[in-house]
Chain A
């Protein structure tokens, strides 16, 4: 999501990389770039002005001090400012001592309140809670019907009555008490922040149900208006946190940065896709790290060098290109990778990773099922996954606590990956001196549907181009082949 923002910032800083000292003109130039980058990312104009002023002050200091490596210093300053902007800790949900914990959802029309109400309900369920949803959007045609359908999908009851939204919300609270539900989520109609009547209505809903949490749902694609909207809703409802929706697109998410700065409330959850599972708590610190670390190949390589055993890694790479890379090898490399720290951070540092991966909050457990599947295979199966038949598949699924479909998928895609690697190995003369993969990864598989190769087909072109290039254009290929992006 913050993709282009960080690449623009990187671009700005690149210009002064290697300069011995900074002149005032250099500083102006960088700041102009940074300003444009932020504005193009939809960061609010006022916020940009403040941030740029702060960066200027410090950068001038660097210029004057004639520090040794000014570009590094500037990077540091920008980093600090961005971190501060996004800042804060993950919003921790505490539950009301007298249940239910009441959550009110508010926002503009079309921001995604209904879907996110259901996603939030699902999230509470995953925390061992028993939510009740209330459909108090009696305005938009079929909004309640939509919520009911979603409720069925996640097996959460939905309460709603036609008529008055304030009454429905209030009755919903009584209903939650009666049913012994411990979380109540009230979906409301979308409204314009300047619609006095509608704002008064939601204020009344809030006064009646006394929410423990009021979340403002904001579309990640929102422009300059986000700040005004957030201020207005905050003034009426006292917002506790923001839910950013549609973070799976390529919007640069400047609204996210700005809202925090202006109303002082954190982004609590991020919605990263249309599936009800695509919803996570937002970790500002992680996100900041990711924005800043993005494309930070050198750090990545450094970390990798420390984590991976050198000989093993080389051997593995060779096998890879010869198509002899087994699931055992994969497992081994995975262990090495784990030493590199949180997966989310590693992802953030990989340039050209699929947006779906970057935008998503990848937890450290995400690789567990893959690991479990491989570990449930016999040594022979790991060497020759093609022998895995129906009954073996069942055994592996049971053993690893996954589904047969997952096992099948893993085996199939591993097979395809092997083939691909082998082809690439051939093309590169075993990759030993493989500096130049000719083809541009990105184009190669674009438009080809299916295949399910997880972007692997594209790596060949991308990776060999990387060595020792701090400003690597990235692995252009990865995104297009990735499942989520097709």
Chain B
């Protein structure tokens, strides 16, 4: 009857400790209080650039409008928020110099550099060549699974004498890795037209990865392409999170909607969407509080944010997971869990893309390779610094190239 003991131990522990020590962190209950306030950017008066066809330079795809989604919003604003004359569209967007992907990334010595020297220095391909490659890939956080796969393929080709020299081996690896990232749709999707039906891009991720900063950068980019943008401060949890986003809204000339600290994030997003709809704003960038994918109440909260964002006039056209380049193998779990939590009934898609931040540091962000190849979630954007222009579209060739750079 050993289980009796276990039962008792479990009982005492779980009940005893659970009751008083660990309380629920916060309850994501929906309050109907409408507490949003609206802050407006300063307004120079310049005609916005009309939105037209796909602008390939920035990787934003403009899609055909789809049928409007069914109405019946989940929550109705009790009081109409004071409407002021629309302005946002008229700020002259600055253009920013974009950093080059490779120049920023190669600041740090490439993870593979040392390995390459070792491999090239050998006359032929030996077991050590593979050991070096393996270590290098692992150091870049590519992960055991993917590394085994990649090297398994190469081993076979070496065995069959298809690959015979160290140089050919390295080239083959590069081609193989780049090939696996080819063909993904890395566009940011915008459904144009239909005044009063703003696109909503939702930014999610664990704490501190760079969601808010990325929204600032994306906002500036979109503004510079002539779109009108509203930023919704859905992080009502972290102290001063809204102030942080407000700073970015001011910098990029976007409208801004916030709620009460500690309030319900979905109502802030809802307000943001309604506001944008009322003012014919093209795009709502929805910030959310950082959360660990293991906290199911917070994942529920996120699910609701997504639902609410699409209930009214808004259409959620991007759900972007922000991942920090330093993230290790846990990144894969993050992508999986956020993806599951945000799964849309309509499209059957959870996350539409990944933003890889902090690639200007020493970390290589290899985990996104696993995320993209194993989960099929394309990496769309890369963060290369802390200033407003430090955002570039993800380019597989350059990403792999930077991994391989022998500076």
Residues of A within 8 A of B (CB): 36, 39-42, 45, 108-112, 139-143, 145-150, 153, 192-194, 219, 221-226, 228-229, 232, 246, 248-252, 254-255, 273-275, 297, 300-301, 304-305, 308, 313-314, 316-317, 320, 330, 333-334, 336-337, 340, 343, 346-347, 350, 353-357, 360, 362, 366-367, 369-370, 402, 406, 409-410, 413-414, 417, 447, 449, 454-456, 459, 463-464, 466-468, 475, 478, 480, 482-486
Contacts and interface: CB of A to CB of B under 8 A. Distances in A.
Interface string B101-141: 00000011001000000000000000000000001001111
B15 A456 contact: yes
B13 A482 contact: no
A417 B238 CA distance: 34
Interface stretch (B343-351, B358-366, B392-400): B358-366
A417 B15 contact: yes
B207 A194 contact: no
B142 to A, nearest CB: 10
* Interface size, B (range): 35 or more
B328 A484 contact: no
Given A274-B25, A355-B294, A316 B8 contact: yes
Nearest to B208: A110
Contacts of A42: 328-330
B328 A249 contact: no
Interface stretch (B16-24, B55-63, B224-232): B16-24
Contacts of B22: 356-357, 360, 482-484
B219 to A, nearest CB: 13
Given A40-B329, A142-B243, A350 B8 contact: no
Contacts of B8: 304, 308, 313, 316-317, 320, 333, 336-337
5 contacts: A40-B143, A141-B244, A145-B239, A305-B5, A320-B11
A146 B295 CA distance: 23
Nearest to A110: B208
A226 B141 CA distance: 11
B376 to A, nearest CB: 21
Interface string B240-276: 1101101110000000000000000000000000000
A224 B207 contact: no
Contacts of A229: 326, 362
A217 to B, nearest CB: 10
A310 to B, nearest CB: 9
A222 B294 contact: no
Q: Which of A139, A219, A221, A454 has the most CB of B within 10 A?
A: A221
Contacts of B362: 192-194, 225, 228-229, 232
Contact of A246 (B19, B24, B207): B207
B317 interface: no
A454 B24 contact: no
Contact of B17 (A148, A300, A357): A357
The 9 closest A-B CB pairs, nearest first, are A223-B328, A110-B208, A149-B239, A304-B5, A141-B247, A42-B328, A225-B363, A145-B240, A142-B243
Contacts of B2: 301, 304-305, 466-468
Contacts of B21: 360, 362, 366
Q: Which of A219, A334, A480 has the largest count of B CB atoms less than 10 A from its CB?
A: A219
B327 interface: yes
